[in-house]
């Protein structure tokens, strides 16, 4: 069975709902639907064509060895790279720049912090750019990620792990429902890994969804996740 079939089967299993009136429940469109997405670098196919969808309240773990294209996949989904073919739909509509900007928050390898600004100033700037979720304050964000007391430290004095925590604070403040987390566990201590998992669980409980890439060395979030396993020039998915 090809991965796509297996994937569809899994989705079907989840969608079968026994309803007393036997009226089919209108299924709301998935938060993110990817159709026939493929990408090649320098004429060399890297992945695809790829079909999958992520519903609200769901986490998709993108697993694979170094260099198979996990980061590239996330960058294509975020709109930083242009796909060769195929595209994505956000809540049932073909994604354009605006709907992407509204729906997607992206955590990449680079933290996007200015070394000479303090932690708080960096957060404030990025929130001015992307918007802030209602009812979430900067103080609460710093406390959530365990950086309380570092508000006025210049970002250059933070360790790699602390910068990652600050990036997570940015995600927590973001109003976007879909988080694209590229190696969120990298550089973090055990407590930090736990923090990532807690944030993901909280986000899913709020009706959000996440895509998480990992090369497999770290623990997956303790929620029901599906996995997308990337192998070189070949794709597999397992429930």
Partner 1 sequence: MIGAARALLQRDLRLLWRRRGDALQPALFAVLVVVLFALGLGGEAALLAKVAPAVLWLAVLLSGMLSLDTLFRGDAEDGSLDQWLLAPVPLSWLVAMRVLGHWLTTALPLLLAVPLLAELMQLPRAQLPLLMMSLLIGTPLLSLIGAVVAALTVGMRRAGILLALLALPLYVPVLVFGAGAVAADAQGLDASGALLMMGAGLAASAVLAPLTAAAALRIALSGE
Least distance (Å) between residue 110 CB and partner 1: 3
Which of 49-57, 59-67, 121-129, 210-218 is the region at the interface with partner 1 (rule: CB under 8 A)?
121-129
CB-based contact 66:231 (threshold 8 Å): no
Half-sphere exposure of 10 (CA within 13 A, CB side): 18
Looking at the Cβ atoms of 121 and 151, the one nearer to partner 1 is 121
- 112 binds partner 1, rule: CB under 8 A: yes
Least distance (Å) between residue 61 CB and partner 1: 22
> What's the rounded Cα separation, in Å, for the pair 9 and 44?
31
Sign of CA dihedral 143, 148, 152, 154: negative
Binding partner 1 (rule: CB under 8 A), the pick from 7, 47, 106, 172 is 106
Give the helix ranges, DSSP H, for 27-148: 70-78, 97-103, 119-130, 138-144
- 93 binds partner 1, rule: CB under 8 A: no
CB-based contact 17:233 (threshold 8 Å): no
- 161 binds partner 1, rule: CB under 8 A: no
Which of 29-37, 112-120, 209-217, 229-237 is the region at the interface with partner 1 (rule: CB under 8 A)?
112-120
Number of residues that bind partner 1 (CB under 8 A): 30
- 160 binds partner 1, rule: CB under 8 A: no
Binding partner 1 (rule: CB under 8 A), the pick from 43, 98, 134, 152 is 98
Which of 10-18, 56-64, 101-109, 218-226 is the region at the interface with partner 1 (rule: CB under 8 A)?
101-109
What phi, psi does 121 have (nearest 5°)?
Answer: -65, -40
- 108 binds partner 1, rule: CB under 8 A: yes
- 117 binds partner 1, rule: CB under 8 A: yes
Tokens found for residue 186: 């990298």
N-term to C-term CA, the chain: 13
Which of 13-21, 116-124, 136-144, 216-224 is the region at the interface with partner 1 (rule: CB under 8 A)?
116-124
- 186 binds partner 1, rule: CB under 8 A: no
> What's the rounded Cα separation, in Å, for the pair 78 and 80?
6
- 129 binds partner 1, rule: CB under 8 A: yes
Burial zone of 211 (CB within 10 Å; 0-12 exposed, 13-18 middle, 19+ buried): buried
Strands 85-90 and 32-41: antiparallel
Least distance (Å) between residue 170 CB and partner 1: 9
3-state secondary structure 45-75: EEEEEEEEEECCCCEEEEEECCCCCHHHHHH
Q: Which residues bind to partner 1, rule: CB under 8 A?
A: 78-82, 98, 100-102, 104-106, 108-117, 121, 124-126, 128-131
């Amino acid at each position: 069975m090809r991965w796509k079939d297996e994937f569809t089967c899994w989705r079907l299993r989840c969608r079968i709902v026994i309803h007393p009136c036997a009226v089919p429940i209108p299924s709301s469109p998935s938060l993110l639907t990817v159709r026939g997405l493929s990408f090649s670098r320098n004429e060399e196919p890297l992945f695809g064509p790829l079909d999958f969808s992520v519903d609200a309240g769901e986490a998709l773990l993108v697993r694979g060895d170094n260099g198979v294209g996990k980061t590239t996949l996330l960058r294509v989904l975020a709109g930083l790279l242009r796909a060769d073919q195929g595209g994505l739909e956000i809540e049932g509509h073909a994604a354009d720049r605006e709907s992407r900007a509204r729906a997607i928050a992206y955590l990449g390898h680079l933290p996007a912090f200015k070394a000479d600004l303090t932690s708080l100033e960096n957060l404030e700037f990025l929130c001015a750019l992307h918007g802030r979720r209602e009812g979430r304050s900067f103080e609460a964000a710093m406390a959530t990620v365990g950086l309380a007391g570092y508000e006025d430290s210049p970002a250059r004095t933070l360790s790699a792990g602390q910068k990652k925590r600050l990036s997570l604070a940015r995600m927590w403040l973001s109003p976007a429902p879909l988080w694209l987390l590229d190696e969120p566990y990298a550089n973090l201590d055990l407590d930090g890994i736990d923090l990532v998992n807690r944030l993901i669980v909280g986000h899913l409980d709020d009706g959000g969804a996440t895509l998480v890439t990992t090369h497999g060395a770290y623990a997956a979030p303790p929620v029901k996740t599906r996995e997308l396993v990337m192998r070189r020039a070949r794709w597999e998915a397992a429930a």
